[in-house]
């Protein structure tokens, strides 16, 4: 559930539920999707959240794909574990773990938008933890946080059963002094609160050289009211100061923070202070599931490194060729409409068709104009991806470019759905094929991850999410429309409004020429195929390209959609085919387009 769907849904639905109900709804929904065949790929497609390879590291023999982890407080029922590893987390905390299932659990509360946790945490029974660890294919490191009230007997059983499955244990200094021995097979991280700096300074010297100690976990400072607590307003600043003090004394000590992060900027503050790993708590709920991804992009943004320019000439040429092809198709649609080989296949000349029914040529013109406008839009989108994405080593632009291009090539088979092969289209694809081959070859070197200066979860960002949602809906509906039109093109060819405009039935058209409907079907299928490619481009650019200050994304979506919309609406006005119900889907798409431009402008265009 990416941010562009989470935040609108949160306002409309989740905030009206109890915290536990909304939490379970989200986590179970994501885990269900991750469990079905192809579900993990769908999550990756929608969010593109996996951590870039730049963040891969090894600490205490555990391999982390990201420095960002998730607190056990967020999912005490472990109902979302099957999906969390797909959301960019480098490790997951389970706990606090107890031996037996508690008789009562105090749920969190939300007051004035503030999440309040009970002093008596929602505890996780050992049986549930083992069930999840054995049934789920969890590939990320697991930190087991053991409840501070367990006895020595319970401690031994919990550690014995979890050692084969987890990478580290988290506990208090009292547990370390009472229970931890040299025989512990996993690293132990001592947990402290940033409020208790005195205790941290006194105890750290006692255990720092112990062979089982992996490091320390510093919890964000808390404020307690009526047996419920929440993080203090200055939690991030307090954590950063504590980290610096510890690192000044013990620079080699591994420091993990828990809480105090709601924005990418706050995460960067803790990393720069010296924290090796960060555990997200209630800030993750407020900021949305995209927070790990945005933290990764901000951390990459702050790295000083040369911009790796890539060759994009063939990709640019591919887009330019489609643009030129669209302009040529538009010229024919405005002039002769049908070409000599069309006339030969139909068995009638253009003059003959005009004499039988002038509306036939107008109808064919409207399909061909719409195809031309869609090709021009596609060409612009491909060119922009080449100039600003592939050239700048952005891996997501390569995936978007080639996914849409391959889909477009496959669409040529739709042209012959009714037995008619357009030789001009065939020649066009033969010219494009070697250009695309070299474009695909040069794209293999594109591996770079995106970065962003986005630091705060401000109102501009929130408006940008709604703008992103509008464009995602736009791309999806264009894609769906292309599939519908292609299906109609290779099946019944006409909808009812088409026949009303023509004032003829399919049987009457067939009586004019047995091949006339085949040519019209070929136009429809070709237009539908082009829409599928453009819909994919708009969808993938909207899903993966929205980042603060990415002016080229706004320009691409703004300019790229115009030719298709102008041709789609203009051609209907030009030939007089203005039936409202027929044009209603296009009007709706235009509304989404305009709303998307307005809402996303401050986020994408302002430097």
Fold exhibited by the domain 3-302:
TIM Barrel (3.20.20)
Q: Residue 587: enclosing H or E segment and its boundaries?
A: helix 580-605
3-state secondary structure of 365: helix
Between these two residues, 406 and 492, which has the higher pLDDT value?
406
For helices 358-384 and 395-410, angle between their N-to-C axes, nearest 10 degrees = 150
Mean pLDDT score across all residues of the chain? 87
Q: Please tell me the predicted confidence (pLDDT) of residue 584.
A: 92
Between these two residues, 576 and 109, which has the higher pLDDT value?
576
Q: What is the pLDDT of residues 178-226, one digit of tens each?
A: 888 777 888 899 888 887 766 666 667 777 778 888 889 999 888 887 7
Q: How far apart are CA 25 and CA 20, in angstroms?
A: 8
- Is pTM beyond 0.85? Reply is yes
pLDDT at 394 over 60: yes
pLDDT at 417 over 60: no
Q: How far apart are CA 270 and CA 299, in angstroms?
A: 11
- Read off the pLDDT of each residue in 262-286 and give the average, rounded to a whole number: 92
- Read off the pLDDT of each residue in 273-299 and give the average, rounded to a whole number: 91
What string of DSSP letters covers 518-579?
Answer: HHHHHHHHHHHHHHHHHHHHHHHHHHH---TT-HHHHHHHHHHHHHHHHHHHHHHHHHT---
Q: Residue 124: enclosing H or E segment and its boundaries?
A: strand 124-125
Question: Residue 544: which pLDDT band, with cuts at 50, 70 and 90?
Answer: very high
Please, are residues 54 and 300 in contact by the beta-carbon 8 Å criterion? Answer: yes
- Read off the pLDDT of each residue in 561-573 and give the average, rounded to a whole number: 90
Q: How far apart are CA 412 and CA 330, in angstroms?
A: 19
Q: Please tell me the predicted confidence (pLDDT) of residue 458.
A: 87
3-state secondary structure of 15: helix
Q: Please tell me the predicted confidence (pLDDT) of residue 305.
A: 64
The proportion of the chain whose per-residue pLDDT surpasses 90, expressed as a percent, equals 37
Question: Residue 175: which pLDDT band, with cuts at 50, 70 and 90?
Answer: confident
Q: Is the peptide bond before 473 cis (omega within 30 degrees of 0)?
A: no
Please, are residues 435 and 312 in contact by the beta-carbon 8 Å criterion? Answer: no
Q: Please tell me the predicted confidence (pLDDT) of residue 419.
A: 67
Q: How far apart are CA 56 and CA 78, in angstroms?
A: 25
Please, are residues 176 and 200 in contact by the beta-carbon 8 Å criterion? Answer: no
Q: Please tell me the predicted confidence (pLDDT) of residue 418.
A: 61
User: Where exactly are the structural domains of the chain?
Assistant: 3-302, 313-605
Count of CB atoms within 10 A of residue 19's CB? Answer: 17
Q: What is the pLDDT of residues 115-148, one digit of tens each?
A: 788 777 788 899 999 998 888 888 899 999 998 8
Q: What is the pLDDT of residues 355-388, one digit of tens each?
A: 888 898 888 888 889 999 999 999 999 999 999 9
What string of DSSP letters covers 213-263?
Answer: EEEEEEEPPEEEETTEEEE-TTHHHHHHHHHHHHHHH-TTS-EEEES--SS
Please, are residues 121 and 96 in contact by the beta-carbon 8 Å criterion? Answer: yes
pLDDT at 39 over 70: yes
- 268 contacts: CB under 8 Å, gap ≥ 6: 295, 298, 299, 302, 455
Q: What is the pLDDT of residues 470-515, one digit of tens each?
A: 999 999 999 999 999 888 877 888 888 888 888 888 899 888 888 8
Let me know if 45 is exposed, middle or buried by CB neighbors in 10 A (0-12, 13-18, 19+).
middle
Q: What is the pLDDT of residues 425-462, one digit of tens each?
A: 778 888 999 999 999 998 888 888 888 888 888 899 99
Q: Please tell me the predicted confidence (pLDDT) of residue 490.
A: 77
Question: Residue 597: which pLDDT band, with cuts at 50, 70 and 90?
Answer: very high
Closest CA to 555 of 318, 383, 439: 383
Q: What is the DSSP letter of 389?
A: I
Question: Residue 541: which pLDDT band, with cuts at 50, 70 and 90?
Answer: very high
Q: Please tell me the predicted confidence (pLDDT) of residue 53.
A: 86
Cα dihedral value 412, 416, 420, 424, nearest 10? 10
Q: Please tell me the predicted confidence (pLDDT) of residue 116.
A: 80
Question: Residue 293: which pLDDT band, with cuts at 50, 70 and 90?
Answer: very high
3-state secondary structure of 97: strand
């Amino acid at each position: 559930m990416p941010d562009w769907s989470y935040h609108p849904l949160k306002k409309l639905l989740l905030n009206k539920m109890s915290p536990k109900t909304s939490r379970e709804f989200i986590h179970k929904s994501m885990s269900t999707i991750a469990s079905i065949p192809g579900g993990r790929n769908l999550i990756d497609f929608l969010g593109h959240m996996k951590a870039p390879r730049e963040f891969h590291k090894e600490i205490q023999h555990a391999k982390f794909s990201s420095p960002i982890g998730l607190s056990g407080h967020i999912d005490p029922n472990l109902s979302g574990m099957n999906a969390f590893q797909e959301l960019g987390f480098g490790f997951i905390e389970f706990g606090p773990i107890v031996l037996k299932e508690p008789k009562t659990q105090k749920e969190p509360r939300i007051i004035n938008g503030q999440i309040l946790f009970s002093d008596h945490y929602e505890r996780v029974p050992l049986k549930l933890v083992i069930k999840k660890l054995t049934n789920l294919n969890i590939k990320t490191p697991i930190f087991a946080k053991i409840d501070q009230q367990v006895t020595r007997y319970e401690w031994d059983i919990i550690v014995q059963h979890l050692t084969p499955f987890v990478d580290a244990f988290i506990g208090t200094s009292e547990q370390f002094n009472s229970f931890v021995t040299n025989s512990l097979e996993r690293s132990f991280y001592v947990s402290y609160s940033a409020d208790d700096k005195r205790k941290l300074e006194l105890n750290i010297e006692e255990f720092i050289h112990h062979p089982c100690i992996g490091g320390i976990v510093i919890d964000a400072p808390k404020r307690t009211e009526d047996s419920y607590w929440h993080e203090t307003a200055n939690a991030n600043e307090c954590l950063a100061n504590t980290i610096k003090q510890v690192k000044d004394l013990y620079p080699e000590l591994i420091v993990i923070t828990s809480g105090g992060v709601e924005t990418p900027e706050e995460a960067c503050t803790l990393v720069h202070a010296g924290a090796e790993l960060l555990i997200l708590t209630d800030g993750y709920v407020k900021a949305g599931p995209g927070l790990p991804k945005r933290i990764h992009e901000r951390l990459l943004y702050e790295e000083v490194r040369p911009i790796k320019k890539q060759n994009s000439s063939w990709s640019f040429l591919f887009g330019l060729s489609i643009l030129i092809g669209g302009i040529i198709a538009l010229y024919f649609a405005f002039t002769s409409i049908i070409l000599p080989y069309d006339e030969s296949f139909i068995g009638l000349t253009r003059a003959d068709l005009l004499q039988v029914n002038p509306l036939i040529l107008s109808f064919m013109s409207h399909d061909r104009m719409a195809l031309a406008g869609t090709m021009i839009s596609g060409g612009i989108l491909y060119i922009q991806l080449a100039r600003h994405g592939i050239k700048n080593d952005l891996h997501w632009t390569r995936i978007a470019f080639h996914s849409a291009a391959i889909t477009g090539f496959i669409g040529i088979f739709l042209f012959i759905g009714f037995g008619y092969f357009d030789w001009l289209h065939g020649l066009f694809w033969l010219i494009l094929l070697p250009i695309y081959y070299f474009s695909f070859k040069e794209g293999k070197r594109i591996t770079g991850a995106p970065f962003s200066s986005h630091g705060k979860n401000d109102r501009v960002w929130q408006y940008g999410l709604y703008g992103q949602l509008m464009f995602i809906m736009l791309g999806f509906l264009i894609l769906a429309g292309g599939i519908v039109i292609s299906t109609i093109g290779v099946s019944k060819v006409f909808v009812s409004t088409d026949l009303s405009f023509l004032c003829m039935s399919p049987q009457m058209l067939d009586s004019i020429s047995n091949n006339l409907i085949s040519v019209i079907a070929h136009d429809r299928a070709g237009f539908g195929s082009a829409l599928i490619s453009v819909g994919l481009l708009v969808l993938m650019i909207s899903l993966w390209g929205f980042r603060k200050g990415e002016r080229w994304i706004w320009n691409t979506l703004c300019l790229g959609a115009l030719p298709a919309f102008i041709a789609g609406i203009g051609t209907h006005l030009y030939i007089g085919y203005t039936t409202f119900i027929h044009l209603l889907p296009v009007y709706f798409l235009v509304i989404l387009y305009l709303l998307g431009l307005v809402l996303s402008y401050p986020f994408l265009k302002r430097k």
